[in-house]
Amino acid sequence: MIPVQGYRGRSVAVLGLGRSGLATARALQAGGATALVWDDSAEAREAAEGQGMILYDLTRANAWDDVAALIVSPGIPHLYPEPNKIIAAAWAAGVPVDNDIGLFFRSFATQDWDNFDVTPRIIAVTGSNGKSTTAALIHHILAEAGRPTQLAGNIGRGVLDIDPAHDGEVVVLELSSYQTDLARALTPDVAVFTNLSPDHLDRHAGMGGYFAAKRRLFAEGGPDRAVIGIDEPEGQYLANQMVYTLSDDRVIRVSVEHKLKGAGWNVFARKGFLAETRKDRQLASIDLREIVGLPGSHNHQNACAAYAACRAIGVGPKQIEGALRSFKGLPHRSQVIAEKDGVRFVNDSKATNVDSAAKALQAFKNIRWIAGGLGKEGGIESLALHLVNVEKAYLIGHSARDFALQLGDTPYEICETMDRAVASAAAEASAGDTVLLAPAAASFDQYPNFEKRGDDFITCVQANLKN
């Protein structure tokens, strides 16, 4: 646990009692503060009270008397589509509002560091797609290279729930736009921007607000090194904002669409080969094509970003290459579940929007595509150019019929449920085919989250392979 600094002897309110809220309350108490907790859910309040937390009704009059700050869980909207009423009340009372990410960056460094030979560092990863895989891959590379490391944030443990830093440790954080948007302190040593595509637009009032939330990690964080994917205009803009000269190597530019040139520091992948260049000289090259845990161009982008982040803190190319080859991938992200009679089954349940689904559809050939769920604005119309590898679509969930109208000439079947979709796709697949779950939709019509949807896919695949 990271004891929160700066509130000893004071009362701090915590709104939202999920994983991060409870961890925040415990970390505040460990730092000598009094944590006053609240959640709209009576069940969550009861569970927190059972853990010894102090319930404090933040909806009552005069709730803000003697409250030093309000710490908000990331899932609670603070501005758009409209301010949460409790947060608005805190604003009106002049109470500072922060989140656990802000508390972490304020509290991570301690006087114990004066005795360390190597100062601990933080690598923070944000972006629309691939940030979980990139963060996990950085963590894996560091561990394989013998560096002490922890993984936290939007993946794994809550940031305040990790252990205090060891000598020379590197903490890898995955940070969503929800987390970067509100944090009052953002000071990573290395910041990584993977890419940008439309997502969470209601929460940020459009693409401009969404990008602005991501940009805060760089513009306000002032990292020593920035790894920036430049395959979208926003990434190009961000990289340009961070450099002062053509040869400024504080920025490492990353691409899977262009061979990068110039006097700066570049990492790019072309035709399955990763290359690192610096001052117009190639320093390293890695063949990514046969790395099972990183299939497709989108994973090559993740590999480039992770490679660049690790190079930024001194890990050697050969160490990174060995770790890339031993990386097994993350659950629900281009995860190879099984292969039988030449048919491969791949779980990409995390592909909850059309951009991530497009990347999955480009990664494989002869696809039996399971898609659908709670569709997002625009459906799958923009995927038309990426259907050339699809032999047939098997549609599930709330948006199955809407998706069917947007498939053009691609054959499809309305299956509605996962078990029917898997059974039909497996029965019709032949050697060389890939049965791919890449829903291009949210899961909430049939499942509590994308993980449960992916688990159901795995269960259905395993059941079919036994038959």
Tell me the pLDDT tens digit for each residue of 193-224.
999 988 888 999 999 999 999 999 999 878 99
What mean pLDDT comes out for the span 103-114? 96
SS (H, E, C) 225-286: EEEEECCCHHHHHHHHHHCCCCCCCCEEEEECCCCCCCCCEEEEEECCEEEEEECCEEEEEE
pLDDT of residue 197: 87
Tell me the pLDDT tens digit for each residue of 338-357.
999 999 999 999 999 898 89
Cis omega (within 30 of 0) for bond into 411:
no
Look-up of token digits 């009704």? 57
C-alpha dist (Å) from residue 371 to 116, 129, 188, 353, 455: 51, 18, 37, 11, 15
Does residue 320 have a pLDDT over 90? yes
Phi, psi angles (nearest 5°) of residue 366: 50, 65
Q: Is 128 annotated as a binding residue?
A: yes
Q: Is 379 annotated as a binding residue?
A: no
Tell me the pLDDT tens digit for each residue of 270-294.
999 999 999 989 999 999 998 988 9
- One-letter amino acid identity for 217? L
What DSSP designation does 166 have? P
Q: Where are the domains of the chain?
A: 11-98, 103-326, 335-466
Q: Does domain 11-98 have CATH number 3.40.50.720?
A: yes
- One-letter amino acid identity for 292? V
pLDDT band at 329 (very low <50, low <70, confident <90, very high): confident
Q: Is 259 annotated as a binding residue?
A: no
C-alpha dist (Å) from residue 415 to 29, 160, 349, 404, 427: 51, 43, 17, 11, 13
Residue of 164, 228, 224, 233 whose CA lies nearest to 193: 228
- Cα–Cα distance measured from residue 301 to residue 297, given in angstroms and rounded to the nearest whole number: 6
CB 395 within 8 A of CB 437: no
Residue of 233, 230, 201 whose CA lies nearest to 77: 201
pLDDT of residue 328: 87
pLDDT of residue 110: 94
* Domain 103-326 fold: UDP-N-acetylmuramoyl-L-alanine:D-glutamate ligase (3.40.1190)
Q: Is 271 annotated as a binding residue?
A: no
- Cα–Cα distance measured from residue 53 to residue 87, given in angstroms and rounded to the nearest whole number: 21
pTM for the whole structure: 0.87
8 contact partners, CB below 8 Å, separation of at least 6: 31, 32, 33
pLDDT of residue 145: 97
Q: Is 127 annotated as a binding residue?
A: yes
pLDDT of residue 330: 87
Look-up of token digits 């490391």? 149
Tell me the pLDDT tens digit for each residue of 122-163.
999 999 988 999 999 999 999 999 999 999 999 878 999 999
Tell me the pLDDT tens digit for each residue of 22-81.
999 999 999 999 999 999 999 999 999 999 999 999 999 899 999 999 999 999 999 999
CB 452 within 8 A of CB 443: yes
CB 2 within 8 A of CB 159: yes
Number of H helices, E strands in the chain: 15, 20
CB 144 within 8 A of CB 319: yes
Residue of 161, 113, 153, 116 whose CA lies nearest to 136: 153
Please provide the CATH number assigned to the domain covering 335-466: 3.90.190.20
C-alpha dist (Å) from residue 337 to 313, 330, 331, 343, 350: 34, 11, 9, 11, 14
Written as one string, the DSSP assignment of 334-378 is SEEEEEETTEEEEE-TT--SHHHHHHHHHH-SSEEEEEESBPPTT
